[in-house]
Chains A and B, each alone.
Chain A
Amino acid sequence: MTQPAPAITPEIVAEHGLSPEEYDRVLAAIGREPNLVELGIFSVMWSEHCSYKSSRIHLKKLPTEAPWVICGPGENAGVIDIGEGAGGKKLAAIFKMESHNHPSYIEPYQGAATGVGGILRDVFTMGARPVANLNALRFGRPDHPKMKHLISGVVHGIGGYGNCVGVPTVGGEVNFHKAYDGNILVNAMTVGVAEQDKIFYSAASGVGNPIVYVGSKTGRDGIHGATMASADFGEDAEEKRPTVQVGDPFTEKLLIEACLELMASDAIVAIQDMGAAGLTSSSVEMASKGGVGLHLKMDDVPQRETGMTAYEMMLSESQERMLMVLKPGKEEFAKAIFHKWELDFAVIGTVTDTGRMVLEHHGEIVCDIPLAPLADDAPLYDRPHVPTPKQPELTNVPETTDVAADLKTLMGTPDIASRRWIWEQYDSQVGADTLQTGGDAALVRIHGTNRALAMSTDCTPRYCYADPVEGGKQAVAETWRNISAVGATPLAITNCLNFANPQRPEIMGQIVGCLDGMAQACRALDYPIVSGNVSLYNESKATGGGSAILPTPAIGGVGVIEDLNKAVGIGFRRTGDIVLAVGERAGHLGQSVWLREIHGREEGPPPQVNLRCEKRTGDFIRTAINAGWITACHDVSDGGMAVTLAEMALKSNIGVLVSEEQPFGVAESFFGEDQGLYLVTVCDTCLADFLDAAGRADVPVDPVGRTIKDRIVFELEGSDHQVTLAELREAHEGFFPNLMGADAALA
């Protein structure tokens, strides 16, 4: 470096997030004291984000294999076989979900926007054209003073980025809970489609091959605040202040097109996007995976600002950048493509056989460390964990006095109200292949075919909090159920594991529990995990609602429907149809939205997921949809059967008369959140076949009622309760506009 290297003090080590023990490992790995650049590289690679040091031993328990899995966790994204596309080409779906929680709390617009940008790059890095974005959002109490600003910023950021890059945002979920008051969650998922023989991986190889930097220039974006504050750099501190990462979706769009154009040739050996701690993690991962060394010339890195140090360049989180290894002699060819798209292109180094990472800046070697220890000697912790105590069974649950009135209330509550205000701000149609948004799963046609991808993101954090194992099972099962409910075959999942501080045994217990539940569900449903992300330390003292977030293992599922004309939606088709409940029922009210919203009680164990029943029922539903028997289908979730019925009714403005005797009490029957349960309508001529098949599959079917015009009527013993669809719609549609108001657009 041009300035004299600062001595590495214990303070500097601490500011880099390394414990004294971890620093000792650094010393052992390189056999001497590191300089600041080297320390920075170790701190990034051994951070929780890159090393998964607290979660790795538990993540290993997750099932990741199936015959249709082409590439599981470890690459930029997971890859599965989705059969043939136009012209008989074998296609793959490439997908992943990732968190951008902390940046979104600090600057919601840019935090969410760059979250979308980052996950898009993870997917097109591997050769896929992104075809769908989804997002799983958790906010605090709607009336929290900061929340409107956060909601508005996040939604505008997701829309601003996704709309501009031209990838449809087709699905997602939003929850509100006070536990997120000081730490919202923004999890973004991208699904892309690639030809199977054009999938690109990140392992660098070929000694002497050029290492190429493309995309935007590097600035001082997002360099870790605490590190920067150590101010051993000279010059004035203000100029070096870390800045919020700003997304540039226009550049991302150009980067997508340029990369895909280059990928159509055979010029690329390996490619990796620059995500968190961009140049460090991308270069180290590419070299480590390929078992090679690299030599980078920092002077050749395209720079947006003057006087940048090697340390800053290695730790910068500037967006819209990629690192590639090209085949020798392909530089000019590749450069012409990137220049056509008006993007920076620079050869910044070469692949070596030294196994070392060597950085050169201003004619000096500023870093020379062995690569192997960065991965092999990374800390691995089996942190102490205590299981979450079981919740006591519910007692003294009151019966509902007016099921229709309770339903109307629930329809306007934050977790159930219409999300129209959000999704109308996302371009869900660009690509002209979007078949369904909303409903149980989003459907996007595989371009040029009669087949479609079905996608859903799910997690019920209150279940995970009450019982991590059941909650983990439920999150996986619900995506599987939602994909089945449109008629598609669920194939694999990605996940974004959001938890609080893993150094607290009770939090580590939540992590271990959720992963255990997820693994059980994945195994039982033949539904492997192919990619994922872990976000820990999601807690804030400033919440006023408890410092840790609810455990939130968000799951994103992907499936395929072979004939898109067979897919069904949630809306009732016509009046006079019989409505049936399909699946095992339990009338389970513990942790239900009804109990929380009507009675203010967040109590009881969450509903159990019986994975054998889940599989049996879902397989039957899918078969029945593809046989053409089912005309509408919706799974039961938040708010129970009553809310499910209301959503089916509002979708098509056709009501329902509930006239059949139910197996449990009124509240239990209509507001219980039983798992693996679906409501369907079946065409008249198919009813016999349907019931016969259900019997053979050992799947229980209960009659519920019949579709009617314009209202929902509960004809129960002793009393009738009813509510018009107009009233329900008003309650359902009102929440977000009322909350956000006109001036929300400014935030």
Chain B
Amino acid sequence: MKTAVIVFPGSNCDRDMAVALEQVTGRAPAMVWHRDTDLPDGTDFIALPGGFSYGDYLRSGAMAARSPILRSVADAAGRGVPVLGVCNGFQVLTEAQLLPGALMRNAGLNFVCRTVPLKVENSQSLFTASYNAGEEINIPVAHHDGNYFADAATLDRIEGEGRVAFRYADSVNGSARDIAGVLNDAGNVLGMMPHPERAIDRAHGGTDGLRLFEAALGVLA
């Protein structure tokens, strides 16, 4: 597997994502700078990490979504390359319109950092195949703008198409229908607010996130 982590100025979970990818694939990912225009040849998995790209000063993810590298990411996504956006990465993917909806300020207005239970809604996607449908997993969240919004028609559509990957088991941030993670229509782009890369070894207190990487990176036994 040749993986890549996109690094924006202000990304701060890029190293954590790289650790997760290397742990699972045995090979360090390429760290791709936002100003680059091309992904390394043969990249077959792309991760957009968490953080505060460009300080999130306009809207979370807004400026990163307009950076040069995002065109290549969109092209790759169009070719079916798996793209995982976590936290700020999810915000970037919605701002880039690779995923529907938007992420707004948490309903409680405060930043929230805690490990939360998630319900696996779709266990058929390439990212979630190691989970059972309806299974509850524990993954940490840490965000200020995680309140998922889309209009009712969009919500009905993505629910109908099985594109809700994860839901919060308890309300965390006011997200519409408690949506925590969303897939694109082809199923190869996943955006999620919770951080699977913070739940990959026992020292984290849980390894539920590891299974996502194992499934997505095709190393599941």
Contact = CB atoms under 8 A, between A and B. Distances in A.
Contact of B198 (A166, A254, A432): A432
Q: Which of B15, B20, B203 has the most CB of A within 10 A?
A: B203
A424 B172 CA distance: 12
Interface string B113-129: 11000000000000000
B192 to A, nearest CB: 15
Chain A interface category by residue count: 20 to 34
Interface string B1-31: 0000000011011011001100000000000
A425 B54 contact: no
A250 B52 contact: yes
Interface in A234-256: 248-251, 253-254
A427 B111 contact: yes
Contacts, number: 82
A250 B112 contact: no
Given A430-B16, A432-B19, A164 B113 contact: no
Interface string A321-358: 00000000000000000000110000000000000000
A745 to B, nearest CB: 4
A445 B195 CA distance: 18
A745 B19 contact: no
A164 B10 contact: yes
A580 interface: no
A144 B2 CA distance: 58
A445 B203 contact: yes
A164 B109 contact: no
Interface string A23-34: 000000000000
Contact of A253 (B50, B52, B144): B52
B187 interface: no
A170 to B, nearest CB: 11
Interface in A726-747: 742, 745-746
A423 B198 CA distance: 17
Q: Which of A166, A248, A253, A341 has the most CB of B within 10 A?
A: A166
Interface string A486-497: 000000000000
Interface in B114-149: 114, 140, 142, 144
A435 B110 CA distance: 23
B129 to A, nearest CB: 24
Contact of B111 (A163, A251, A253): A163
Contacts of A218: none
A425 B12 contact: no
A435 B203 contact: yes
Q: Which of B9, B50, B56 has the most CB of A within 10 A?
A: B9
Interface string A136-171: 000000000000000000001001100111100000
B10 A253 contact: yes
Given A432-B19, A435-B203, A424 B113 contact: yes
A564 interface: yes
B9 A250 contact: yes
A288 interface: no
A426 interface: yes
B203 A745 contact: no
Given A435-B203, A564-B203, A745 B108 contact: yes
Contacts of B200: 432
Contacts of B204: 432, 435
A156 B144 CA distance: 11
B198 A429 contact: yes
A253 B11 CA distance: 9
Contacts of A424: 110-114
Contacts of A160: 111
Given A156-B110, A426-B113, A428-B142, 13 more contacts: A160-B111, A163-B142, A164-B12, A164-B52, A166-B13, A250-B55, A423-B113, A424-B112, A425-B113, A430-B142, A432-B20, A432-B197, A745-B108
Interface of A: 156, 159-160, 163-166, 248-251, 253-254, 341-342, 423-432, 435, 445, 564, 742, 745-746
20 contacts: A156-B110, A163-B142, A165-B12, A166-B13, A249-B55, A250-B9, A250-B52, A250-B54, A250-B55, A250-B56, A251-B55, A254-B10, A341-B9, A425-B110, A429-B195, A430-B50, A432-B16, A432-B198, A445-B203, A745-B108
Interface of B: 9-10, 12-13, 15-16, 19-20, 50-52, 54-57, 108-114, 140, 142, 144, 195, 197-198, 200, 203-204
List 8 A-B pairs, minimum CB-CB distance, nearest first.
A166-B12, A250-B55, A745-B109, A432-B16, A427-B142, A164-B52, A425-B111, A427-B113
